[in-house]
Amino acid sequence: MLGAARDIKQRYKHIDYLFLNSSHSQLERIDYVQATKDFFTQPIKAFTVGTFKVQGISKTSLDGFASVFQANVLSPWYLINEIIPVLKDGGRIIWISTSIALPEMLSEDDLGLVKCKYSYEASKYEIELLQHATYQSLYNKYGIQSWLLHPGVFKSTTFVPTLNVFAYVGMFLMFYICRLFGSKYHCIYPEVAANAPVWAAVGSDPEKDDMSLKYGSATDRWGNEVLERAKLQVVPGLSEKIYEYVERQRKELQSRLKDQVVERYLY
């Protein structure tokens, strides 16, 4: 993080767009029995939320944090604060969450995601609340825009290590079936999933568009692109609690790293 922040500040006078798309997870395997059951009972939910994914408890990083929390929540917030000088006066922070960041995935007693069995989804919900707690102050104090969005569901190599070729092809076909039966989140193709991120970068206007909303890449059942706008699911008081917790961890890490010197040639 320090190396990245140092390079950014030395190489660039201003950063226009900062895409935060950290997606570290502890996915261990696919429960094929559960997947078969859900295929017949709740197929759209199963292939949107991924009810059959089995995640392990987040491993601990060398810094002593749960690795999913550190990668997906703490590190992006740390980087933002380090490069505010080159983001201010017009820079855009684009937080990329997920359509399955749900309040029920996060326990208020485990904000560090140490014991959480759904740490990926919980970490994404935490960044949503972190954005919600900070977007206005970043804009008012520094002129930095902060947008929250999700790319929908699309084909990627994320699940390849846990799927055999038949399961991967079957999942891909299910995406089409889910979309045909009304799921707006199954963008399927990465270029369609990029709709919301591109809009946030070059099409959004803080004077007309609401930064408190969650924007999303979506489609109709025939695959035509749609930009979704939705109110964030905010548990009362939790945004402030998340901000205070993450900011406390950031300051602690900053204190630990204050004497670390990062030097390397700039290419």
pLDDT, one tens digit per residue, over 29-62 is 776 787 778 777 777 776 666 666 767 788 898 8
Flag whether pLDDT at 266 surpasses 90: no
- Overall CATH class of domain 2-257: alpha beta
Residues 6+ apart with CB under 8 A from 83: 5, 8, 9, 15, 18
pLDDT digits (tens, 9 = 90+) for 59-72: 898 889 999 999 99
Contact 124, 231 (CB under 8 A): no
Q: What is the mean pLDDT of residues 124-147?
A: 97
Element containing residue 238 per DSSP (H, E): helix 238-257
Q: How confident is residue 79, by pLDDT bands cut at 50, 70 and 90?
A: very high
Angle, helices 238-257/75-82, rounded to nearest 10 degrees: 70
How far apart (Å, rounded) are the C-alpha atoms in residues 244 and 108? 13
Residues above pLDDT 90, as percent of the chain: 52
pLDDT at 219: 92
Q: Is 120 a catalytic residue?
A: yes
pLDDT at 223: 85
| Per-domain residue ranges of the chain | 2-257
How far apart (Å, rounded) are the C-alpha atoms in residues 57 and 117? 6
Residues 6+ apart with CB under 8 A from 129: 232, 234, 238, 239, 242, 243
Question: Of the listed 120, 135, 185, 245, which one is catalytic?
Answer: 120
Element containing residue 216 per DSSP (H, E): strand 213-219
The number of residues in the chain equals 267
Cβ neighbours, 10 Å, residue 6:
17
Question: Of the listed 58, 67, 97, 119, which one is catalytic?
Answer: 97
Question: Of the listed 53, 124, 184, 214, which one is catalytic?
Answer: 124
pLDDT digits (tens, 9 = 90+) for 188-232: 888 999 999 999 999 999 999 999 999 999 999 888 999 999 999
Q: Is 124 a catalytic residue?
A: yes
Q: Model-level pTM?
A: 0.86
Flag whether pLDDT at 267 surpasses 50: no
Q: Is 25 a catalytic residue?
A: no
